[in-house]
Amino acid sequence: MNRHVSWTPAETTADSGDVIRLADVRRRFGETAALDGVSLGVRRGEILGIIGRSGAGKSTLIRCLNGLERPDGGSIEIEGREITGLGEAALQPLRRRIGMIFQHFNLLSAKTVEENVALPLKIEGWPKAKRLARAAELLELVGLSDKARAYPSALSGGQKQRVGIARALAASPALLLSDEATSALDPETTRSILALLKDINSKLGLTILLITHEMEVVRNIADRVAVIDAGRIVEQGPVWQVFATPKAETTKSLLSGIRPQLPAHIAQTLLSEGPGDVVLSIDIAGPAATGPLFQDLSKAFPGGYRLIHGGVDHIQKQPVGRFFIALPAASTAGLVSFVERLGAQVEVLGHVADHA
Ligand SMILES: Nc1ncnc2c1ncn2[C@@H]1O[C@H](COP(=O)(O)OP(=O)(O)OP(=O)(O)O)[C@@H](O)[C@H]1O
């Protein structure tokens, strides 16, 4: 990374609190409440992920943030300034405080890479030499100095997104808003773009708002996550905590692809009652997950239990464990209180059809 990139978001902002703050933001389209009372703050220097299914309200939220959509009610502050009542002229400079990157990059095909990056500065009236110098600085930051004179058609998807990032950062925005920016990229390219965003966040202190339907993106680089469903924030918190113990059904369902799940052939044959062993899920994370859980369990329950499935992930350097075990019904109550005392969450899922 270029250590000479000039970056002064802190000096250009008056307020040291949230970069963006939404309070009870509402937007209806006929009968549909696209945003139904959204309250949310993006803290300076953090990476906040907003995750939700298709139709949850993500695009409407973005459009309200950049002033393309007017909320019906509530308040939106950018660096402490309320934007909801502003006219187009007053909105323009505040809109430029948010740099955006998009799923399909939105580069101008008739302009070179450096011209694309310098475009926001041209709009701001920077002289040509100064804006090309800034473009060169940013292209070095994103590792594309050798492509300055190339046209977008000669670039790979990952390279195009790097140009998109450089362009979004050209005018030193207070916040980078990523709208599904890795959704069109393959997994390896996604990882390299996320690594670049994380690097820029930690080295330059850039605040990033990631809007995505991909849990993996949030898992990899976000500090906090907010889950949006039917226009409401149904859950939010540090990523490792939300991933370890999701509360809302939407969050559980969105996470089902990346958290261990009870294998389908067992889940499908579980009975609500019966003589067969009881199947439990155990979620244990953070400081609670650093102890010798299975050693303790084996000592406390010499009658035995079977580990069916599960494992330990590490998110934000915190262990996040999820296990499925089966044990005789008579031991269940004791085991539940034992692991709950260790700080785990336990759920009884049912009985296996027989003792096999
Ligand atoms: N201009 C509009 N007119 C009517 N309904 C709209 C309009 N914009 C959004 N909606 C509705 O509001 C709800 C939220 O839509 P929105 O596009 O914000 O969701 P989203 O989370 O961005 O979905 P996706 O991930 O599919 O883009 C949906 O039910 C959508 O049909």
Complex ipTM value: 0.96
pLDDT of residue 279: 95
Q: CATH class for domain 18-251?
A: alpha beta
What does pLDDT average to over the chain? Answer: 90
What residue type is assigned to position 252 of the chain? K
Our mutation pick for probing the ligand 1 site, out of 28, 32, 38, 232, counting the most ligand atoms within 8 A of Cβ, is: 32
Any residues with Cβ below 6 Å from ligand 1, and which?
A: 29, 32, 34, 52, 54-60, 213
**Nearest Cα to Cα of residue 142 among 160, 169, 158, 166:** 166
**Could you tell me the distance, in angstroms and rounded to a whole number, from the CA of residue 230 to the centre of ligand 1?**
10
What CA–CA distance (Å, rounded) separates 159 from 155? 6
Atom of ligand 1 nearest to the CA of 59: 22
In the chain, where the domains are located: 18-251, 264-351
The Cα-based distances of 249 to 227, 254, 274, 339 in angstroms read 11, 9, 27, 23
Residue 343 has pLDDT above 90, yes or no: no
Residue 134 has pLDDT above 80, yes or no: yes
- Decide whether 18-251 matches 264-351 in CATH topology: no
pLDDT of residue 248: 95
Residue 10 pLDDT grade (very low, low, confident, very high; cuts 50, 70, 90): very low
**Could you tell me the distance, in angstroms and rounded to a whole number, from the CA of residue 146 to the centre of ligand 1?**
40
Report the percent of the chain where pLDDT is more than 70: 95
**Could you tell me the distance, in angstroms and rounded to a whole number, from the CA of residue 61 to the centre of ligand 1?**
10
Tell me the pTM: 0.88
Both structure tokens of 51: 């995750």
Residue 6 pLDDT grade (very low, low, confident, very high; cuts 50, 70, 90): low
DSSP string, 207-222: EEEEEES-HHHHHHH-
Residue 32 has pLDDT above 60, yes or no: yes
**Could you tell me the distance, in angstroms and rounded to a whole number, from the CA of residue 123 to the centre of ligand 1?**
30
Our mutation pick for probing the ligand 1 site, out of 59, 63, 66, 178, counting the most ligand atoms within 8 A of Cβ, is: 59
Residue 54 has pLDDT above 70, yes or no: yes
CATH superfamily of 264-351: ACT domain (3.30.70.260)
Tens digit of each residue's pLDDT (9 = 90 or more) over 188-222: 999 999 999 999 999 889 999 999 999 999 999 99
